[in-house]
A and B are shown apart, each in its own frame.
Chain A
Amino acid sequence: AQKITQTQPGMFVQEKEAVTLDCTYDTSDPSYGLFWYKQPSSGEMIFLIYQGSYDQQNATEGRYSLNFQKARKSANLVISASQLGDSAMYFCAMSLDTGRRALTFGSGTRLQVQP
């Protein structure tokens, strides 16, 4: 079974600075996808970025980038130039290429951006 570990329950960052949120995963399946979602206090789960296990380059989406280190089984999210609106819970998640394809989530990191 797959597992996602997020070891940072909470993080603080100053506005306009960059921040890295850690995520490690465990699976024996060679084909999988890794995702990051943002959940503001309103509760909606917002998709941010995706990395496939066979992708050679790190994914980027605007201010978000995913630092994918396959050998270390890590998929850290980097947010550049933090904004006050980035304050939220952030979840790392994984889906396999086989089986039921549902997401397995980590426990989340609460990010607070300070002015």
Chain B
Amino acid sequence: DVKVTQSSRYLVKRTGEKVFLECVQDMDHENMFWYRQDPGLGLRLIYFSYDVKMKEKGDIPEGYSVSREKKERFSLILESASTNQTSMYLCASSLSPRTSGSVVETQYFGPGTRLLVL
């Protein structure tokens, strides 16, 4: 079974703090993604990564950065947390179609981190 874990289920931080959200997958997946989910706005892509040390901006990268030093770990960093970053953060991973030979690959999600910035 695919397992994606996230470092915290709930997190409370103060405005201006630097926040690290960690995501680890155990299935040797090449692709990893960070989404945020907000009521009325749905799920939006923040950043994604195709390989170690590679990263690409998603739809809403402002105020965030990412790090992928090892294949199994993809970290989301809030450089200076703000109240409008209060949200549910979901990490996902998938194989690369180059590896699987499929048209597209299923993304598997972690349990999510509910972040509250005060």
Contacts and interface: CB of A to CB of B under 8 A. Distances in A.
A47 B48 CA distance: 19
Interface of B is mostly: strand
A97 B111 contact: no
A52 B104 contact: yes
A31 B104 CA distance: 8
Interface residues of B, number: 26
A51 to B, nearest CB: 10
A97 B107 contact: no
Interface majority SS on A: helix, strand, loop or mixed?
loop
B77 to A, nearest CB: 19
Interface of B: 31, 33, 35, 42-43, 45, 48, 56, 58, 88, 90, 92, 94, 97, 102-112, 114
Interface of A: 31-33, 35, 37, 42-47, 50, 52-54, 91, 95-97, 100-103, 105-108
